[in-house]
Amino acid sequence: QYYPVDIVNGPGTRCTLFVSGCVHECPGCYNKSTWRVNSGMPFTAEMADRIIADLNDTRIKRQGLSLSGGDPLHPQNVADILKLVQR
C-alpha cells in the first residue's frame, strides 16, 4: 500500500510505502496482515516512478520516504527497495 502524503509514519510530511513479507512475527505487531509475501499488490516500475515523482513534486514538500511493512529488507523486497532508494 502506498500513501503519497503521510504525516503519521515518520517526521514531517512524507511518502510511505508498506511492503509485504516478514519472517520476524514480532509480538504486538500491528501489521500482521503484511507478513505473507503475497499480500497486497505487486511493486511495479510504475509505482516506483510515481513515488519518485511525488518526492520531487514541489507543490507538497516532503521530508522523505518511509518504508514500512512487513519487512522492507525481507529477501523478496531487497532488490526493489535498493533500486528505489538509489533513484
What pLDDT is recorded for position 6? Answer: 98
What spatial distance separates the first Cα and last Cα of the chain, rounded to whole Å? 20
| 40 has pLDDT over 90 | no
Single pTM value for the model: 0.86
| 18 has pLDDT over 90 | yes
Q: Give the number of other CB atoms < 10 A from CB of residue 65.
A: 17
Amino acid at the residue 35: W
Q: How far apart are CA 60 and CA 72, in angstroms?
A: 25
Look up residue 46 and give its three cell numbers.
510504475
Average pLDDT over residues 32-53: 91
Q: How far apart are CA 10 and CA 67, in angstroms?
A: 9
| 41 has pLDDT over 90 | no
Average pLDDT over residues 76-87: 89
